[in-house]
Chain A
């Protein structure tokens, strides 16, 4: 059982700021049928490849888009999210972000330790699968998404994740 959970965390989060993912969804909302050729995305959004790939990957991981045969399309969840206004949008996104293994582990830890979970422990965990630099990036990305979804936050003085 533990082995299986470890493996889940081992799949790296794509490093896209959540703002870009949202931008992608809003752009797709305006396209007919919520569908667009992948190659057409770069121009209008002003993103280059280094930004676009993680953003589409992230949207895919969150279950908000699907990609096939060179096209990218909003899923029904993705479409609903793109249509929604704040704070509805945040709530919907939170539901998706929560399912990511790393985010889920941190949330769980916060529940059991009374609202404070040292960052170092998660770093050590991730370093079983990633280099130290990559592990840091994973946590930064997870934190950025969790902050937007208001799932949890970070206290840099004590170096702990804290409840939002």
Chain B
């Protein structure tokens, strides 16, 4: 971007190393294609850094693919009205789909492509993580490009910015702040699915990919507390390190790219700012993060311009391929359902669906019930307290709560509690943080003057809660609920069918039906039907309930008056 780009040796060195590694991997990667044994993970703590690196590698690859695809798709939707009409609804539906439901199918595809080798399994894991990162990135890109000021785009055209130059000087910088913000969210999502992706069950085999997630999962299941603690500590340090060394500097650099005035941002807690001022962080930011960011923008510009050059033929090809896939899938489905009559499991689907629906709804309601008072309390804390609360939430959000499902199952049996309660608790882990995060940010957005007016008028306590607080946070709360609704279904798939200490803990529901069909009976009819039913229900509830609710609430409780 600068007219004279300064040399950045650390970035160059880093790039060379990565390139060397890729070459090595390609040359010696034939080992990757051998059939994959599922080793018991070596539990020595000294290996944790290696496991961490492997997990990070998977996350990074998934993230890279997600960003590139999000840029392409978002840009396409923003620039072509025709494309927009197709892309946006598709993204909307796909993002409501509980990812984990499709996971066994994805594994089958990748294992089919690459054989039952390490490469196939790694690809499946990366795919899973990718699907947890992609949607908000794509919507974010679309959102920033749609709101680009018209005269800026016009000026770019008039100055002759086309192709890769337009990408690197206009499009990428314009989406950059939103991209950073959504990347942080995506990585938090990704960590959550990390465990699920590293312990893959496909058919009778269990593939375990060496990584932090599988290490943690193994430690929990075999009851090794020391290892669990060290693994959790490593995870904590890793997320903290990422925040300090990568996301923090990127956020600060991204401020430069803001169009218009910077809005109210929550101030980082003092300890965060102190750490950010340290020489290490500043050096890292100046010598590595920012130059790498600049390179990425230039390289990204070149890369994203490539499909543009291929233009129309490429679009036709892509659409053609998608249509072909669709036809193929439809014919297979037809063959599947005409081959034999539905099994008993399949006919249980409607009942299971209702039960699961009740569990997820309970999860969302409980999350709301807990979040509102907590957000209220946190909002009284003053700006430092609130900033700390937010940071804590962000770190908790990276937590792979799915690792603890076996523990919860065991605890339920220990205390003689019904497994349904356990399932709802597990679902709560997938809902609570979304709601809490949004409730808190809604609480923080209440203008001070409104609070002051309430105090002066003597509105306090429950009156305040009812007449001021809840209405004010309601729009954000609903947004949080919509996300929590999707998150809850994902958790459901794992929660209704838990293997802990060699025993299966199962409740009646569509998640259990799906898992049972995937891992035990391999009944394709049931798999397809239960997935379809789940997706249909989730999308229906979105369309019929959540979205209209949001419109009503957003209109009525807008913070404008």
Chain A positions near chain B (C-beta within 8 angstroms) = 120, 156-159
Contact = CB atoms under 8 A, between A and B. Distances in A.
A158 B277 CA distance: 12
Contacts of A157: 286, 290
Nearest to A156: B256
Interface string B273-289: 00001000010001000
Contacts of A156: 256
Contacts of B256: 156
Contacts of B277: 120
Interface in B290-309: 290
A147 to B, nearest CB: 17
B262 to A, nearest CB: 14
A126 B93 CA distance: 55
Chain B CB within 10 Å, residue with most, of A156, A157, A158: A157
A156 B282 CA distance: 12
Contacts of A158: 286
Contacts, number: 6
Interface in B220-259: 256
A-B pairs, top 3 by smallest CB distance, nearest first, are A158-B286, A157-B290, A157-B286
Interface of B: prevailing SS: helix
A158 B289 CA distance: 12
A159 B281 CA distance: 13
6 contacts: A120-B277, A156-B256, A157-B286, A157-B290, A158-B286, A159-B282
Contacts of B290: 157
A156 B290 CA distance: 11
Contacts of B282: 159
A157 B286 CA distance: 6
B297 to A, nearest CB: 14
A120 B273 CA distance: 13
A159 B282 CA distance: 10
B244 to A, nearest CB: 17
A94 B207 CA distance: 72
Contacts of A159: 282
Nearest to B287: A158
A156 B286 CA distance: 10
A156 to B, nearest CB: 7
A57 B330 CA distance: 78
Interface string B69-87: 0000000000000000000
A127 B282 CA distance: 21
A30 to B, nearest CB: 35
A157 B252 CA distance: 10
Nearest to A118: B282
A80 B362 CA distance: 79
A14 B282 CA distance: 31
Interface string B529-561: 000000000000000000000000000000000
Nearest to A120: B277
B412 to A, nearest CB: 51
Contacts of A120: 277
A4 to B, nearest CB: 30
A125 to B, nearest CB: 15
Nearest to A160: B286
B250 to A, nearest CB: 13
A120 B277 CA distance: 9
A151 B332 CA distance: 75
Contacts of B286: 157-158
A156 B285 CA distance: 12
A120 B276 CA distance: 12
B284 to A, nearest CB: 13
Interface string B344-360: 00000000000000000
A153 to B, nearest CB: 13
Nearest to B285: A157
A158 B282 CA distance: 8
A156 B2 CA distance: 12
A126 to B, nearest CB: 16
